[in-house]
Amino acid sequence: MLYKTKGIVLNHLKYGDTSLVTTIYTEIFGRKTFLVQGVYGRKGKFRPTFFQPLTLLNLDVYINPKRDLQRIKEVAIECPFHSIPFTTIKSAVSLFVAEVLYKTLKEEEANPAMFDFLFHAIQLFDIKDSGSANFHLVFLLNLTKHLGFYPQDNYSEANCIFDPANGYFNAFLASSGDGKQKYISALFHQLMNVTFDGMEQPAMNHQTRNALLNLIIEYYNHHHGGLSTLNSLPVLQSIFGD
């Protein structure tokens, strides 16, 4: 059957000399994997740039539930990027976000709320000039709402250290925690109340940003898993290095 759908590219791998296999999170089917032939040939119908991570597409696709690899009839870029491929920070962040999505989005069924969240977050990331360095942090926390494990925001003077294993701020840990843990936990609390429109805050240096990212990843691994090995993480951390 032939269907029209929007899609968000999660990754692609070269297949043979001229083809590729790409995983796309689609609006009406969820996660799907496609074999695209002739991409790298002289007479290829589709360009490799269509399948870069987080590219927003309009697709005409053949879906056969009995096959692991689906086919694409037509593809066009829905929203051309103006900044993501052309800035070092945004490119690194986009590769990281795409890898996280590739490892966390497994369902092969429609999830309109998830798709709309992803689509509009990526659009906003591309057009915003400020706050890019914090986008992945805000994004990861907001993504937990759609994945079903958003942390409890019970932060207080007593409950001042975030416990990633239990998903809330812990008073017992606060009794033995150091100043750095309390500072990172306070930023975690602030970040829970930040929108994409205001992601310039909280202000932090690169070392603090990396520490906060590590805490969020630890939280993911306790409650969802799959992020223990992220190939894009060292690149991202090097860009946000001191």
- Give the Å distances, CA to CA, from 87 to 12, 82, 92, 101: 21, 10, 9, 21
Among 77, 108, 133, where does a domain finish?
A: 77
CATH for 181: 1.20.1440.120
Provide the pLDDT for residue 23: 98
Q: Is the pLDDT of residue 176 over 90?
A: no
CATH for 45: 2.40.50.140
Counted residue by residue, the chain has a size of: 242
Provide the pLDDT for residue 38: 85
Q: Is the pLDDT of residue 180 over 80?
A: yes
Same domain, 67 and 148: no
Helix axes 88-104, 112-127, angle to 10 degrees: 170
pLDDT tens-place string over residues 192-206: 999 998 888 888 888
Same domain, 120 and 200: yes
Same domain, 91 and 178: yes
DSSP assignment, residue 14? E
Tokens representing 130 are 């400020």
Mean pLDDT of 232-237: 92
Same domain, 45 and 117: no
Same domain, 46 and 68: yes
Q: Is the pLDDT of residue 41 over 80?
A: no
Same domain, 94 and 33: no
pLDDT tens-place string over residues 54-113: 999 999 999 998 999 999 999 999 999 999 999 999 999 999 999 999 999 999 999 999
The pLDDT mean for the chain works out to: 92
Report the distance separating Cα 127 and Cα 150, nearest Å. 27
Instruction: Determine how many CB atoms are found less than 10 A away from the CB of residue 51.
Output: 24
